[in-house]
Amino acid sequence: MWPNAKLIVSSFFEFAQCNQMSKRPFEEIKLSDYHYDLPPERIAQTPLNERDAAKLLVYRQGQVQHSQFRAVSDYLNSDYTVFFNDTKVIPARLFFRRGPTGQEGALIEILLLNPLEPSSLLEKAMTSERYCVWNCMVGNLKKWKDEEILIARLPIGLLKAKIEQREEQTVRFEWEGGQIWSDVLAALGAMPLPPYIKRAANEHDNTQYQTVYNRHAGAVAAPTAGLHFTERVLQNFQKKNITTDFLTLHVSAGTFQPLKASYLPDHAMHSEQIVVYRSNLERLLGGKRVLAVGTTAMRTLESLFWYGNNLCENPSAPFFVEKLQAYQTTKTATTQQAFEAVLKRMDTLKTDVLVGETEIFIFPSYRFQVCKALITNFHLPSTTLVLLVAAFIGKDWRMVYDAAMQNDYRFLSFGDSSLLMPI
The CA R_g of the chain, rounded to the nearest whole Å, is 22
Paired residues of 247 in beta bridges: 85
pLDDT number for residue 353: 97
- pLDDT tops 50 at residue 10: no
Q: Is the pLDDT of residue 27 over 70?
A: no
Of the two residues 153 and 227, the one the predictor is more confident about is: 227
Report pLDDT for 252.
82
Look at residue 23 in the predicted model and tell me its pLDDT.
Answer: 42
- Higher-confidence residue: 105 or 65? 65
Cβ-count burial 341-371 (b if 16+ within 10 Å, e if not): bbbebbeeeeeeebbbbbbbbbbbbbebbbb
The answer for 122, left when phi > 0, alpha when psi is -120 to 50, beta otherwise, is: alpha
- pLDDT bin (cut points 50, 70, 90) of residue 56 is very high
Tens digits of residue pLDDT in 347-386:
999 999 999 999 999 999 999 999 999 999 999 999 999 9
Taking only the tens place, the pLDDT of each residue in 132-175 is 999 999 999 999 999 999 999 998 889 999 999 999 999 999 99
- Among the residue ranges 46-50, 63-67, 259-263, the one predicted with the least confidence is 259-263
Sign, CA torsion 119/121/122/123: negative
Whether 223 and 300 have beta carbons less than 8 Å apart is answered as no
Q: How far is CA 151 from CA 32, 179, 290, 340, 354, in A?
A: 45, 16, 48, 50, 37
pLDDT band at 20 (very low <50, low <70, confident <90, very high): very low
Residue, of 327 and 8, whose pLDDT is higher: 327
Poorest-confidence range of 9-13, 37-41, 139-143, 314-318? 9-13
pLDDT for the residue numbered 31:
86
Is the CB of residue 34 less than 8 Å from the CB of residue 387? yes
Q: pLDDT tens digits for 98-142?
A: 877 666 678 999 999 999 999 998 889 999 999 999 999 999 999
Give mean pLDDT, residues 1-24: 37
For the chain, percent of residues with pLDDT exceeding 70: 92
DSSP code for 384: H
Q: Coil, strand or helix: which one is 400?
A: helix
Cα separation of 72 and 418, whole Å?
Answer: 9
Per-position DSSP letters for 299-330, written without gaps between them: HHHHHHHHHHHHHHH-TT--SEE-TTHHHHS-
State how far Cα 380 lies from the chain centre.
Answer: 15
Percentage of the residues of the chain whose pLDDT score is greater than 90? 78
* H helix or E strand, kind and range, residue 276: strand 272-277
Residue among 145, 167, 133 at smallest CA distance from 98: 145
Lowest-pLDDT range of 146-155, 206-215, 311-320? 146-155
**Backbone CA torsion sign across 200, 202, 207, 208:** negative
pLDDT at residue 329, rounded to an integer = 86
- DSSP per-residue string spanning 151-213: EEE-SSSEEEEEEEETTTTEEEEEE-SS-BHHHHHHHH-B----TT--S---TTHHHHTS-TT
Are 254 and 384 in contact by the 8 Å Cβ rule? The answer is no
- pLDDT score for 105: 78
- Structural element, H or E, at residue 133: strand 131-139
The SS3 call for residue 18 is coil
* Position 302 confidence tier, pLDDT thresholds 50, 70, 90: very high
Q: Return mean pLDDT, the chain.
A: 90
Query: Which of 172-186, 192-206, 248-262, 366-380 is predicted most confidently?
Result: 366-380
- Domains observed in the chain: 26-88+209-421 (3.40.1780.10), 92-188 (2.40.10)
pLDDT-derived band at 22, boundaries 50, 70, 90:
very low
Residues in contact with 264: Cβ distance below 8 Å, sequence separation at least 6, in sequence order = 26, 29, 31, 363
Mean pLDDT of 264-291: 92
CB atoms within 10 A of CB 225: 25
Does position 262 have pLDDT exceeding 80, yes or no? no
Buried b (16+ CB within 10 A) or exposed e, 68-94: ebbebbeebeeebbbbbbbbbbbbbbb
Please give the distance of CA 338 from its chain centroid, rounded to a whole number: 23
Out of 144-158, 176-190, 259-273, 289-303, pick the least confident.
259-273
Which pLDDT band, with edges at 50, 70 and 90, does 3 fall under? Answer: very low
Q: Is the pLDDT of residue 19 over 50?
A: no
With 0.85 as the threshold, say if the pTM is over it: yes
Burial of 8 (0-12, 13-18, 19+ CB in 10 A): exposed
Q: Confidence class of residue 311 from pLDDT cuts 50, 70 and 90?
A: very high
